[in-house]
């Protein structure tokens, strides 16, 4: 299982990468593997305000449908529209082309409250 050291993680299996004043959000390699083949991604609306832990959208796979949760609260400032035509990117490249959205956090320090890579590895190991 791939757990990049430069990301932060939620206990709901989302990752975030800080990029200036915004964060990019996606689901982890662990989550995409558990889901199986992703066939549809429901993206949040640009401009929407989300609360930390609130629903961002859904990922539908051949096995199930799972909600995507916001690791931090704030405004959705970009979405990965390419997933509409190629939802399999979530499986093929969860930390790259399979990203879900970008959020402008209302509290940038909230990122510090998320799991680092080692803590996320421990979460998924047990």
Residues ≥6 apart with Cβ < 8 Å to 54: 69, 70, 73
Q: In this predicted model, what pLDDT tens digit does every residue of 60-114 receive, in sequence order?
A: 999 899 999 999 999 999 999 999 999 999 999 999 999 999 999 999 999 999 9
pTM, entire model: 0.93
Q: In this predicted model, what pLDDT tens digit does every residue of 5-39 receive, in sequence order?
A: 999 999 999 999 998 999 999 999 999 999 999 99
Neighbour-count burial for 36-53, b at 16+ CB within 10 Å, e otherwise = eebeebbbbeeebebebe
The structure tokens listed for 117 are 């890579």
pLDDT, residue 99, reads 97
Determine how many CB atoms are found less than 10 A away from the CB of residue 109: 8
In degrees and rounded to multiples of 5, residue 107 shows phi and psi of -135, 95
pLDDT, residue 1, reads 85
- The answer to whether residues 25 and 8 touch, using CB atoms and an 8 Å cutoff, is no
Mean pLDDT of 44-63: 95
CATH class of the domain comprising 8-125? mainly beta
């Amino acid at each position: 299982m791939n757990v990049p050291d430069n990301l932060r993680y939620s206990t709901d299996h989302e990752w975030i990468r800080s990029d200036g004043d915004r964060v990019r959000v996606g689901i982890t390699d662990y989550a995409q593997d558990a889901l199986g083949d992703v066939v549809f991604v429901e993206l949040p609306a640009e401009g929407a305000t989300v609360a930390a832990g609130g629903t961002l959208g859904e990922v539908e796979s051949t096995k199930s449908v799972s909600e995507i949760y916001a690791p931090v609260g704030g405004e959705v400032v970009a979405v990965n529209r390419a997933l509409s035509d190629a939802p399999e990117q979530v499986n093929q490249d969860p930390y790259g082309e399979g990203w879900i959205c970008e959020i402008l956090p209302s509290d940038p320090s909230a990122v510090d409250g998320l799991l680092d890579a080692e803590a996320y590895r421990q979460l998924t190991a047990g």
